[in-house]
Every structure is written in structure tokens, then in C-alpha cells.
Amino acid sequence: MKIYKFLSLFLIAFTFLTFTSCRNNDDEDTSNETSGKLQLKFENGFNNLGDIVLNQTTQTSSSGQKHQFSTLKYIISNITLIDENGKEFKYNENNPDKGAFIINQANAAAGIVYVDLDGVPKNNYKKIKFGLGISQNAYLLGQNGQAEFWEKAKQESMTWSWAAGYIFVKLEGKYGTSSANTEFMNHTGNMGNVIANNTPDLYREVMLDFPTTARVSASIKPSIHILADLNQYLSGVTPLSLSTTNDMAMGSNQHLVNVTNNLAKMFKVDHVHND
């Protein structure tokens, strides 16, 4: 009996200590002097050539198929910055209203789609992690838990019904052998609650190294210039060909699982601006 008494006293003391130390950390983090801003620049291209022009830039896949996009959009969320000691700063984790963004090539300015983050702790960051799509944890908060982002995604045509959820990646355009003249649409996304519906989870986490350190401070707002190589779509880990069996695919069938796994490998940080 004595040992239980001792253990419970120990637990109470431990809880109290953890609680007070958490509060100290919070006080530090919310101070204005220790936070700054950071910008993500998404540049969608083919191989190392950026700035895809919708309805124009044509790529030939590894299996020889010509293709071009009329629509190129995807959702990113759960952005995490990792500092030189491996410590993570999670930017509005599983909170789509504040932490999810739609990258839409139609909104690109000189080939770049911008995402601005503020309230980022002053620090030297070496890596970034983000999700392609919306995590199950976020989706399962329900529609009221993400009313703002759901509405935004709806306006951008990145949703199905609430029961099915978000479209994670929306690729539309034309493909063909000698020229790109046949229409296709590939819309990836989860079918709602993937455990309840026994369907694949297409949410993917992407981790990228920075070639140089991003130094966030009150006076420096670094930009992380990310290249997305859309050539991975058909010429990635699993080479894919579009055909009448998959050129109008929506949801999370095997073709779209392959598309997702290919696209999850398309990102790299090309360079970091510290200014």
C-alpha cells in the first residue's frame, strides 16, 4: 500500500511541474518580439522547368503520352517547421480554417502561388513538413470545425459532398499520343471517414530539407521557394498512362492511389530567400 501512496504523490507532483513548465513555454511563445513571418512560394512545373501555363505547356510522359493541364489545384495543410535542433513548430495543426491552403495554378503570379504564415517563432529552420490533402484528424472535426475552409474549398470546387469530403488534388486537361486532344480529369481525395468506409487514406505527409537555413526574425521574413514537378504525375514512382479506364477518375480508386503516391514525391525546396 505504501508504494501506491508514494506513486500517487509523485504523480501529483509531476503533473503540477509539467503544468507549470507548459505555462512558462506558452508565455514565451506568445511574446511579439520572438515571432515573425515566413512565406512559402509554390512553383508548379515539369521537371526543373517552372511556371506551367494552363492549356499551353505540354509535357511528354515517360510512356510517351502528351498531356497538358487546364486545371491544376491541390490542398496543403499541417505545415510544420523544424529547427536546427529538430524541434518542431506546428502551424495550426489539424485546423483547416487557419492552417490549410489551396494552391491553384490559375492564381499564380509570374508562376508562383504564395502562402503567407505569421506568428512563426523566431528561429533558424532547416526543414519543412506539410500534408498533401486534409488529414483524417482534421476532417473528423466535422463540418462545423472547419466551416471557413470548407466554404473556401467549395468556392474553389475542391469539395464533394460533406460525406465524401475534400478533393485533395484536382488535375484536368487533355492528353493524347501525337497531340493532347482527349479530355481527362483526375480528382483525388478521401471518401469521407476512411476507417468507417474502408477506403484508402490519400492524405500524404511531405518532408523537405532546406538547402540553406531560413532565419525567421522580426526583421527577416524568409521565403521558401518550393518546386512541384508535375512530371511525377504520370512519370513518377509508378509510371502511369491515361486511358478510357482512368481518364475520368474521381475519389480514391487504385489509379488515384498511384497518382497520389507519385505526386507525394513531386516537391523539393529549390532555394531559400532570407530578406
Contact residues toward Cu ion (CB under 5 A) are: 225
For Cu ion, give the closer residue by CB, 42 or 91: 42
Q: Supply the minimum distance, in Å, between the C-beta of residue 131 and Cu ion.
A: 23
Q: Which of 32, 179, 201 lies closest to 132 in space, CA to CA?
A: 201
Closest residue to Cu ion: CB criterion: 225
Q: Supply the minimum distance, in Å, between the C-beta of residue 171 and Cu ion.
A: 24
For Cu ion, give the closer residue by CB, 1 or 110: 110
Q: Is 23 helix (H, G, I), strand (E, B) or coil?
A: helix
For Cu ion, give the closer residue by CB, 73 or 225: 225
For Cu ion, give the closer residue by CB, 90 or 271: 271
Q: Supply the minimum distance, in Å, between the C-beta of residue 82 and Cu ion.
A: 20
For Cu ion, give the closer residue by CB, 44 or 262: 44
Q: Which of 44, 43, 73 lies closest to 59 in space, CA to CA?
A: 44
Cβ pair 111, 43 in contact under 8 A:
yes
Phi-psi region of 165 (alpha: psi -120 to 50; beta: other; left: phi over 0): left
Cβ pair 79, 252 in contact under 8 A:
no
CB-facing half-sphere around the CA of 145: CA atoms within 13 A = 15
Q: Supply the minimum distance, in Å, between the C-beta of residue 270 and Cu ion.
A: 7
CA distance 244 to 230: 21
Q: Supply the minimum distance, in Å, between the C-beta of residue 273 and Cu ion.
A: 6
